[in-house]
Amino acid sequence: MTHAGGYIADARIRAAEWLPWVFAALCYFAAPSYLTLGSYILTMIIFALSLDLILGYGGIITLGHSAYFGTGAYVAGILALRLTGEPLLGLLAGTLGAGLLGLFTGLVILRTRGLALLMLTLAITSLCYEVANRATRLTGGADGLGGFSIRPILGLFSFDMFGKTAYLYCLVILFASWWLVRRLVYSPFGASLTGVRENNVRMHAIGAPVYQRRVVAYTISAALAGLAGALLTQTTQFVGLNVLGFELSGELIVMLVLGGVGRIYGAFVGPLVYLVAQDYLAKRFPEYWYFGIGAMLVLVVMFARGGILGIIDAGIARLRRGS
């Protein structure tokens, strides 16, 4: 179940693909005191999906994806503070803002590849971070941006203190994002991204506008990251500088690698396992919890290049062969 796309792939949704949604719905009822963590996980899944699109499918390595997540977060926050707390409008603005930044930065940095590209993605994030840090009147600088309120969704569902509305809101937005990413992955465009990743030279030789494809993919991914950022702003009613930090970009890669790169559901499993483990370990071993996370990552990278989903796939294959 790798969801590699292509012209002979069966794009129909398989039964197992409904599991995450059933699981998410069950969590809503079974773990009402964890809904805040749940909302955060759902948000990070959207962010991880956006990275999977360019890293897993497009082969574009970036250490700066928080630039777009943070842009979406700040756009939504500033909009809520200055203009309107209308949530869907905030999501739209965050998505568009990050998408535009993705387009303009993509046009510049995607002329390069490899290490140069990696450095440029880092540079963009640090630029954004510095801008947000300095523009205190707009962003609140190091103090962060708060003091805004988000209006009820569609005028009907107001955000409650238990995080119920926020959780369901995140779930619905994740569902829409998943649907979109899945469509893209199975589309001819998704197939051509695979082509660019697999063999850039041949892609040029068959007359593909490689640069353009990469810019489009990067823009869509940035927009999706911005959507996740805006969602975080709205569900936490606060924006801190950390949404633009390297740590977040790094953590995101760790989560995706942990779950499995280039297979859609790796972006689901990774953030879930990572954030739940972090929550658990941070409570039990407040001093050493990072050690646990590190050990987990080392194990996955050493023994399972396909991440947790890769291990599961291999297990299933072995069972089938055995029977």
The site for other proteins (CB under 8 A) is made up of 4-11, 183-184, 186-192, 194-195, 198-199, 201-209, 213, 216
| Cβ-proximal residues to 218 (8 Å cutoff; 6+ apart), any chain | 54, 58, 60, 102, 103, 106, 110
The angle subtended at Cα 214 by Cα 212 and Cα 220, nearest 5°, is 105
At closest approach, how far in Å is the CB of 2 from other proteins?
A: 11
User: Closer CB to other proteins, residue 204 or residue 284?
Assistant: 204
The angle subtended at Cα 121 by Cα 229 and Cα 66, nearest 5°, is 15
User: Closer CB to other proteins, residue 112 or residue 199?
Assistant: 199
Rounded Cα gap, residues 226 and 319, in angstroms:
41
User: Closer CB to other proteins, residue 107 or residue 123?
Assistant: 107
| 212: its two tokens | 């353009």
At closest approach, how far in Å is the CB of 9 from other proteins?
A: 6
At closest approach, how far in Å is the CB of 64 from other proteins?
A: 25
At closest approach, how far in Å is the CB of 4 from other proteins?
A: 7
What does the DSSP assignment read for 256-279? HHHH-TTSSTHHHHHHHHHHHHHH
At closest approach, how far in Å is the CB of 263 from other proteins?
A: 13
At closest approach, how far in Å is the CB of 106 from other proteins?
A: 16
| 285: its two tokens | 């071993």
Instruction: With beta carbons less than 8 A apart as the criterion, state whether 75 and 94 touch.
Output: yes
User: Closer CB to other proteins, residue 7 or residue 303?
Assistant: 7
User: Closer CB to other proteins, residue 136 or residue 187?
Assistant: 187
At closest approach, how far in Å is the CB of 202 from other proteins?
A: 5
Rounded Cα gap, residues 249 and 75, in angstroms:
19
Instruction: With beta carbons less than 8 A apart as the criterion, state whether 193 and 209 touch.
Output: no
User: Closer CB to other proteins, residue 189 or residue 289?
Assistant: 189
User: Closer CB to other proteins, residue 111 or residue 183?
Assistant: 183
**Inter-axis angle of helices 210-236 and 87-109, to 10 degrees?**
150
Alpha helices in 110-187 (DSSP H): 114-134, 136-139, 164-186
